[in-house]
Amino acid sequence: MKKPLSRRSFVKGILAGSGLTLFLAYTPGGFRVLGAEEIKKADLRDLTLNAWIAISPDGLVTIIVSQSEMGQGVYTSIPMIVADELEADWKTVRFRAAPAADEYKNPVWGMQSTGGSTSIRHFHDLLRKAGAAAREMLLQAAAQAWSVPRPECTAVNGAVRHTGTGRSLSYGKLAAAASKLPLPKDPPLKDPSQFRFIGKPLPRLDVPEKVNGKARFGIDTFIPDMLYASVARPPVFGAKEKSWDTNASKQIKGVEQVVRIGRGVAVCARSFEAARRGRAALAVQWDPGSRPDLDNAAIDKTLLDHLNKTGVVARDDGDAEKVLNSAAKKIESVYRLPYLAHATMEPMNCTAWVQKDRCDVWVPTQSQTGAQQTAAQLSGLDPKKVYIHTTYLGGGFGRRAETDVVEEAVEISKAVTKPVKVIWTREEDIQHDFFRPGNCCRIAGALDARGKITAWAHRVVVPSIFARVFPQMMAKGIDPAAVEGIIDLPYQVPNLRVEYVRMDLPIPVGFWRSVGSSHNAFTVECFMDELALAAGKDPLDFRLEHMDKTSALRRALEMAADKAGWGKPLKAGQARGLACHSCFGSHVAQVAEVSVDKGKGGLRVHRVVCAIDCGPVINPDTVKAQMEGGIIMGLSAALKEQVVFEKGGVKSANFADYPLLRFSETPEIEVHLVQGMKKPEGVGEPGLPPIAPAVANALFAAAGIRMRSLPLTPAVVLEALKKRV
Amino acid sequence: MISLMINGKEYRADVAPETPLLWVIREHLQLSGTKFGCGVGECGSCTVHINGQAEKSCILPVREAQGKAITTIEGLPEDHPVKRAWVQEQVPQCGYCQPGQMMQAAALLREDPSPDEDKIKQTMDEVLCRCGTYPRIKTAIQTSLRFMKEEGRKS
């Protein structure tokens, strides 16, 4: 094992704005400070110019990425931004996961985490500055080497050239001298017309190793002499273990230790199979938990009962109630949405090694800060002695912002004084998720004689995510996720009232890709179609009539409708539906073409046309991939997913009873970029929310049935079809 | 002691004969390209080739793989049309399921060098992807077929 790393070693980066005084190198054991003697050694690999950039003497440029790669392409897009300003040769650009350190905290959020579709929009300016600062240092180093004025030097594709003499020095040769120079505070940025990488569909840097099988995910961590741990956790919410059979567990070949931890009873063994068998042999007896009556029917009843409570007012324009009471035309609908699981393809896992003076954690995490704080707390070590090694994430979607599995690994490793890899089975992964909360709402809308919306009253009932995760953001007791997309309704409605009714159940809830927008885009956009029908208008025209002429969402909607051929004939039996939604700074509209098997209820989505305005694009192919991914995950939820609860716990267990969308169910997807806005905005999540309402609206157009809950399974659709006849 | 022939190389592991092949490949032999996704043969992340056929290694007892030729993602040649197509079409997002996707596709193309759409759907339905790379998998399979045709080779 390498010597402990000193956190003081981390160069003060661009965030701190101070000069560079220390050298850092990356070794197979992690980052390490180099002494003056070591710097002279020939085997020196990298020299850091700032927290984001290391250049080796042979010219390889390593971009250190603060953000977790969970599929969204951030190990390519962040290097693209930095390398462009650095004026690097793209062929020499590599990436590396950053350690947990202050330099890498999100400048808006103050923590190192990946979520909320922020990796580009929160880091963009900072990364450009980091690249430009390093470029200036290299230029300065060359000017000094040649004893020429700095303005005579230009940076071109990984080298500095002297204009007068045509001399050239590569970045690799300049790195050592450049790294000793002060960090410029306000380096000049490129004009966008000079960008060489930004805006181009460059191939992803992580693809080769994800294709050859060498990419290391958390579950692929192997530490010599490590044990595997499997944890018995409460099978129902709030249950406590009454008894368990340690001896029976230890009879299993390979089982070494059984330890009680905060979240259950852990069995440590020489292999994962032995750990699992050892866990089964424990035969833990649990008490009945806090809500043995809890099942889907009970949850739905609780949700609907809460609709009759008065909530906290989150927005109140005009007098919606008065207008509704005297409206020429008024409609009212209740929508209900299920709990959902994240079901990342890589089940939860974490490897930890707690030693006397340090703790190492190898984890596919969306929250380095959270993982570090958790490990520090449980190991009793100073956070500076906790080293977070971020691996590739086999999917995140919000689930990996949680630190539950880090808790387990650290607690167990501390108890057994060995490196420990905790692996969850798929059943554990689904049953011990922090779910996308179930939700219901009632919307009442009023129309005037010309078919304009005069009032909108919206009461949302949903458990709070923020109350647990970021309680400081619960202004007036309102969970910001619960009302997102409603308090900022994209339509002009003079009398708008939004109320939030918090409902608490012992079911853990957390961030699930697009969070509250996954609920609220569905209800708002389905209700817009209901209002359009009541007004006797086309759903597209009706929306446009209620949108500002300058609205970015309007431009996206117009583009999607145009590209989809809205209003033009389709094949017999097919119909279109549309929806649009703004979230995470971006604006997305989608048109879905569907048909329904009227005998069996099966819904087929043939084609989806998507338009997004996320402002200037870093990598258009990544944006396209994120739209495809968001649409497919949203469609999976719309057609198939719901967590089944039973006797106070989770009944759903694996993909047989928590089915995900498969290959053959995937529509053709077409993505168009609007690029109307000035600043880059989010892309990881905004592709998801519009698809469910677009499909539900298309189903209404195809078969005349208005579905106000999800998922739209064949059985549910068939029942609705029968009721209609 | 179990003896296995993986990617043309002999490996030995001291495991119970009913241990799923997946765990022997991954954790005992540390060939970690083959992934654990569900443990019940529902997701296909663990797909390997046994004598050229796609098999879900999470439900295959290791004793049944003895004496057979096992190929994992690491053993699929780097210039295999499927691997090249996956890079060209930029298929992976998180990448976790992709070894399974590629092994599934490679077995299909080996068995049927001109599969129709239904055959492709039926085959690729065996492997789940949560990131939603299906449209690109679809394209990449066509690209693989084109590579094979152009090069007059079998996968």
CATH class of A307-339+435-724: alpha beta
Whether residues B126 and B146 share a domain: the answer is yes
Given a contact cutoff of 8 angstroms between Cβ atoms, the answer to whether A589 and A551 are in contact is no
Given a contact cutoff of 8 angstroms between Cβ atoms, the answer to whether A406 and A262 are in contact is no
In one-letter notation, the amino acid at residue A232 is A
Please give the sequence-ordered ranges of beta strands (E in DSSP) within A512-618, or none if there are none.
574-583, 586-596, 603-613
Q: Which of residues 88-107 of B touch A (CB under 8 A)?
A: 90-99, 102
CB count in 10 Å sphere of residue A430: 24
Q: Indicate if the pLDDT at residue A131 is higher than 80.
A: yes
Please state the domain extents for chain A.
7-202, 220-288+348-423, 307-339+435-724
CA-nearest residue to B26 within chain A is A220
What confidence category does residue A185 fall into, taking pLDDT thresholds of 50, 70 and 90?
confident
Q: Closest CB to A654: pick one of B23, B38, B74.
A: B38
Is B35–A345 a contact, with Cβ atoms under 8 angstroms apart?
A: yes
Q: Indicate if the pLDDT at residue A472 is higher than 60.
A: yes
Structure tokens at A197: 């990488």
Is B35–A633 a contact, with Cβ atoms under 8 angstroms apart?
A: no
A419 vs B: CB within 8 A: no
Residues of chain B with pLDDT under 70: 153-155
Q: State which of B75, B94, B111 marks the end of a domain.
A: B75
Given a contact cutoff of 8 angstroms between Cβ atoms, the answer to whether A398 and A513 are in contact is yes
pLDDT at A22: 31
Bridge partners for A30 per DSSP: A27
Whether residues B62 and B99 share a domain: the answer is no
Whether residues B66 and B86 share a domain: the answer is no
Given a contact cutoff of 8 angstroms between Cβ atoms, the answer to whether A576 and A608 are in contact is no
Q: What residue numbers bound the domain in which B94 lies?
A: 81-151
A219 vs B: CB within 8 A: yes
Give me the mean pLDDT over the A370-375 stretch: 98
CATH code of B67's domain:
3.10.20.30
A654 vs B: CB within 8 A: yes
CA-nearest residue to B19 within chain A is A273
Distance from CA of B86 to the nearest CA of A (A): 7
Which of B21, B58, B96 to mutate to test binding with chain A, by most A CBs within 10 Å of its CB? B96
Cα–Cα distance for residue pair A722/B4, rounded to 1 Å: 56
Distance from CA of B152 to the nearest CA of A (A): 23
B59 vs A: CB within 8 A: no
Condensed to tens digits (0 to 9), the pLDDT of residues A134-153 reads 999 999 999 999 999 999 99
pLDDT at A80: 98
Is B92–A393 a contact, with Cβ atoms under 8 angstroms apart?
A: no
For residue B35, the chain A residues in CB contact (below 8 A) are 217, 219, 345-346, 394
Condensed to tens digits (0 to 9), the pLDDT of residues A506-519 reads 999 999 999 999 99
B87 vs A: CB within 8 A: yes
CATH code of B118's domain:
1.10.150.120
What separation in angstroms does the CA of A495 have from each of A135, A322, A469, A720, B112? 54, 9, 32, 33, 63
Interaxial angle between packed helices A124-146 and A74-86, expressed in degrees from 0 to 180 and rounded to the nearest 10: 40
pLDDT at B155: 54
Q: Closest CB to A394: pick one of B42, B96, B134.
A: B96
Whether residues B13 and B69 share a domain: the answer is yes
CA-nearest residue to B22 within chain A is A273
Q: Closest CB to A629: pick one of B37, B78, B131.
A: B131
How many alpha carbons fall within 13 Å on the CB side of residue B131? 28
Q: Looking up tokens 């650095």, which residue turns up?
A: A86
Cα–Cα distance for residue pair A183/A169, rounded to 1 Å: 20
Whether residues B106 and B135 share a domain: the answer is yes
For residue A228, the chain B residues in CB contact (below 8 A) are 27
For residue B137, the chain A residues in CB contact (below 8 A) are 663
For residue B96, the chain A residues in CB contact (below 8 A) are 217, 344-346, 392, 394-395
Would you call A636 helix, strand, or coil by DSSP? Answer: helix
For residue B121, the chain A residues in CB contact (below 8 A) are 663-664
Whether residues B10 and B70 share a domain: the answer is yes
Whether residues B87 and B69 share a domain: the answer is no
A203 vs B: CB within 8 A: yes
- The total of structural domains in chain B comes to 2
Q: What is the DSSP string of A182-203?
A: PPPSSPPPPPGGG-SSTTS-PP
Tell me if A7-202 shares its fold with A307-339+435-724.
yes
Residue of A556 and A49 predicted with greater confidence = A556
B9 vs A: CB within 8 A: no
**What is the average pLDDT score of chain A?**
93
Q: Indicate if the pLDDT at residue A8 is higher than 80.
A: no
Condensed to tens digits (0 to 9), the pLDDT of residues A20-52 reads 223 334 333 344 444 444 444 433 457 788 889
Q: Indicate if the pLDDT at residue A376 is higher than 50.
A: yes
pLDDT at A49: 85
Whether residues B110 and B132 share a domain: the answer is yes
Q: State which of B57, B75, B93 marks the end of a domain.
A: B75
pLDDT at B153: 66
Whether residues B93 and B57 share a domain: the answer is no
Q: Indicate if the pLDDT at residue A575 is higher than 60.
A: yes
Q: Exposed (0-12), middle (13-18) or buried (19+): which is A259, by Cβ within 10 Å?
A: middle
Whether residues B55 and B23 share a domain: the answer is yes
CATH for the A220-288+348-423 domain, from 3.30.365.10, 3.30.413.10, 3.30.930.10, 1.10.760.10: 3.30.365.10
Whether residues B100 and B62 share a domain: the answer is no
What confidence category does residue A612 fall into, taking pLDDT thresholds of 50, 70 and 90?
very high
CATH class of A7-202: alpha beta
The helix (run of H) or strand (run of E) holding residue A146 is helix A124-146
Share of chain A above pLDDT 90, in %: 91
Whether residues B53 and B103 share a domain: the answer is no
For residue A423, the chain B residues in CB contact (below 8 A) are 36
